[in-house]
Amino acid sequence: MWWRSPALAVALVAAAVGGAGCGFQPLYGKNTTTASGARLSEVMAAVAVKPIPGRIGQQVRNNLIFSDTGGGQAPEPKYRLQIVLRENLINQLVQISGDARGQVLELNGSFTLINIANGQPVFAGSAFSRAPFNRYQEIFANVRAKYNAEDRAAGDIAKSIQTQIAAFLAKST
């Protein structure tokens, strides 16, 4: 029967999606543009990230700056991004003696995107991440494990914030 043919089903779906003009546009495509026609990568590079206190804050900021500019020179900023981070350590696998065999670093961030021209907030949101790590007898191993969890959580938060801002800027600018 014609309706059981996989090749025909794929052809019909492709024709329906291609002919319908669904308006799908990849967010991080090479030539992705905003609603006004500007390249999204250029608009994202014009977001200045304010310094964030602490080691994790610096990691989040560095991740955002590098992903927005690609390591190149940033243009004159049009937006300012303010981020507030809150971290919490959750003990897991607690033994009878009270020692925790594992911990989870919970990182919550709230952010505000401000238009520099008028000083008004244009977008606000939040992001969170959880990064588990094991506890060991050796102190240095514990420190390294926690640093690794902090780096993973910072990367997740930065990616989430970047995606939310890119989606906002792609449809509003």
Give me the chain's average pLDDT, please.
82
In order of 50, 155, 169, the CA distances from 62 in angstroms are 11, 9, 20
DSSP 50: P
Name the most confidently modeled range: 3-7, 23-27, 96-100: 96-100
* pLDDT at residue number 127: 96
Domains plus CATH for the chain? 31-172 (3.30.160.150)
Model confidence pTM above 0.85: no
Split at pLDDT 50, 70, 90, the class of 112 is very high
Adjacent-strand bridge partners of 82: 112
Neighbours of 49 (CB within 10 A): 22
Burial 66-87 (b: 16+ CB within 10 A, else e): ebbbeeeeeeeebbbbebebee
The pair of structure tokens assigned to 130 is 């959880």
